[in-house]
């Protein structure tokens, strides 16, 4: 990586790993982080975890895996343009959803409800837990032993009570300091990716229509351009041409506005970044347009009755599994120590459920609750 800005994260200013290791050869420390994430079990399971549509609804819909890859693509473009650490932005993006439950946000809400009395469940924190504790692959440490900056970037938000328990990782939430610019990029790349691919998936599913979307300024502008330039273009191509232009507009705007914000701060070090306000941002106009698109997706796609039915079913599956495992731990497919306090047992159950893919959760539910002969 050449021409890194002085305020970018680099191997020289990194706080390093929790357990010291021999430096990698032929790749950077952050490329090693990316590689460890790709080789983790939690990463492979993302393929069968819902983004908005459940896996069995169709082969073309985004899953958590393809979502994470799209986030990484967008984050890398932005990081490179701003002379920031592209490898770090990529690693954070690929890891940001590792802690996600099955069944998308419905799953997260259901598990959080189950865990209310035991400290709650938050997929963001769980992603860090996956890379710090839950992956059991290396001989000398639990987790993936990633660099501090990768872990920090994964933790988008955190309640103060939680932050206090997280040591140096939680510090910035208590002291009101910012994460690296690379972390800020991954966060907004996530938004760009899901808003745009949810438009695409929403249209493909037929739950929303182009006519409805024409009322959303960000879509309308590009849709109009495409239709003007190519009046006879088949619908699917119109959709892709529109979505790719929306992504391009958002990415270009984000790069331009962030470069202005950075220039206005006179940054010279990573520490300056941490003390400055959030600098990776859209312009006021695009921020407004992006919010309007989000609002549209909330009311027309995420609350569509067919998505709500899926969510209700998912909540029931997760609630049932949690309840039954808490009631009788002998039903768990692994042993838990007899001495485990109730809250710790709940955490073990939550870890188990959060790690499930959609179809594994469905099967596990069937194995436990269905009475048909073939369900065991
Ligand atoms: Mg995401």
Query: For 30-73, how does the pLDDT look when each residue is reduced to its tens digit (9 = 90+)?
Result: 999 999 999 999 999 999 998 777 666 777 788 999 999 999 99
The answer to whether 214 and 242 are in contact (CB under 8 A) is: no
Residue 68 belongs to domain spanning: 29-306
Centroid of ligand 1 to alpha carbon of 95 (angstroms) = 9
Please tell me the pTM assigned to this model.
0.95
Q: Is the dihedral of CA 50, 112, 165, 158 positive or negative?
A: positive
Average pLDDT, the chain: 94
Number of structural domains in the chain: 1
Q: Does residue 11 lie in a domain region?
A: no
Q: Which has the higher per-residue pLDDT, 257 or 311?
A: 257
Residue 1 maps to a domain: no
Q: Residues 137-174: pLDDT tens digits?
A: 999 999 999 999 999 999 998 888 889 888 899 999 99
Pull the structure tokens for residue 34.
């990316």
Which pLDDT score, from 0 to 100, does residue 58 have? Answer: 73
Q: What CATH number has the domain bearing residue 88?
A: 1.10.3210.10
Tell me, in angstroms, the distance from the centre of ligand 1 to residue 64's CA. Answer: 7
Question: Counting every residue, how long is the chain?
Answer: 376
- Would 108 be classed as within a structural domain? yes
* 319 closest CA partner among 355, 345, 341, 349: 349
Domain contains 123: yes
| Domain-embedded: residue 24 | no
For residue 213, being part of any structural domain is answered with yes
In a domain, 296, yes or no: yes
**Secondary structure (DSSP) of 47-104:** GGSBSSS-GGG-TTS-BHHHHHHHHHHHHHHHHHHTT--HHHHHHHHHHTTTTPPTTH
Q: What is the mean pLDDT of residues 182-198?
A: 96
Residue 61 CA, ligand 1 centroid: distance in Å: 15
Task: State the CB neighbour count (10 A cutoff) for residue 256.
Answer: 14
Report yes or no on 338 lying in a domain.
Answer: no
Distance 192 CA to ligand 1 centre (A): 10
Residue 147, classed as helix, strand or coil, is strand
Question: Would you say residue 104 has pLDDT above 80?
Answer: yes
pLDDT of residue 2: 61
How far apart, in Å, are the Cα atoms of 375 and each of 17, 83, 292, 361, 372? 45, 55, 45, 13, 5
């Amino acid at each position: 990586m050449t021409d890194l800005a002085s305020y970018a994260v680099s191997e020289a200013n990194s706080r390093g790993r929790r357990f010291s290791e021999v430096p990698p050869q032929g790749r950077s420390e952050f490329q090693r982080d990316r590689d460890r994430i790709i080789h983790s079990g939690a990463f492979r399971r993302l393929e069968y975890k819902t983004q908005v549509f459940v896996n069995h609804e169709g082969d073309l819909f985004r899953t958590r895996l393809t979502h994470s890859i799209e986030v990484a693509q967008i984050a890398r473009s932005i990081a490179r343009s701003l002379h920031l650490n592209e490898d770090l932005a990529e690693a954070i993006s690929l890891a940001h959803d590792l802690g996600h439950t099955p069944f998308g946000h419905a799953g997260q809400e259901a598990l959080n409800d189950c865990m209310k009395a035991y400290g709650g469940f938050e997929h963001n924190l769980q992603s860090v837990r996956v890379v710090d504790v839950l992956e059991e692959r290396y001989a000398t440490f639990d987790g993936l032993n990633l660099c501090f900056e990768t872990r920090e970037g994964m933790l988008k938000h955190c309640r103060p009570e939680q932050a206090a328990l997280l040591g140096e990782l939680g510090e910035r939430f208590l002291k009101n300091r910012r994460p690296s610019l690379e972390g800020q990029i991954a966060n907004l790349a996530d938004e760009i990716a899901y808003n745009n691919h949810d438009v695409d998936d929403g249209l493909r599913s037929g739950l929303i229509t182009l006519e409805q979307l024409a009322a959303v300024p960000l879509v309308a502008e590009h849709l109009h351009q495409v239709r003007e330039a190519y009046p006879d273009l088949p619908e699917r191509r119109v959709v892709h041409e529109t979505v790719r232009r929306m992504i391009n507009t958002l990415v270009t705007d984000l790069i331009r506005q962030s470069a202005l914000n950075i220039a206005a701060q006179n940054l010279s070090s990573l520490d300056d970044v941490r003390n400055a306000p959030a600098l990776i941002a859209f312009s006021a106009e695009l921020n407004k347009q992006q919010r309007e698109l989000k609002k549209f997706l909330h009311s027309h796609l995420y609350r569509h009755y067919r998505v709500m039915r899926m969510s209700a079913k998912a909540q029931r599956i997760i609630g049932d599994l949690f309840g039954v495992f808490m009631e009788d731990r002998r039903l768990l497919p692994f042993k838990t120590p007899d001495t485990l306090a109730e809250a710790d047992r709940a955490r073990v159950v939550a870890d188990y459920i959060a790690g499930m893919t959609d179809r594994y959760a469905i099967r596990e539910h069937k194995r436990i609750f269905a009475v048909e002969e073939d369900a065991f």
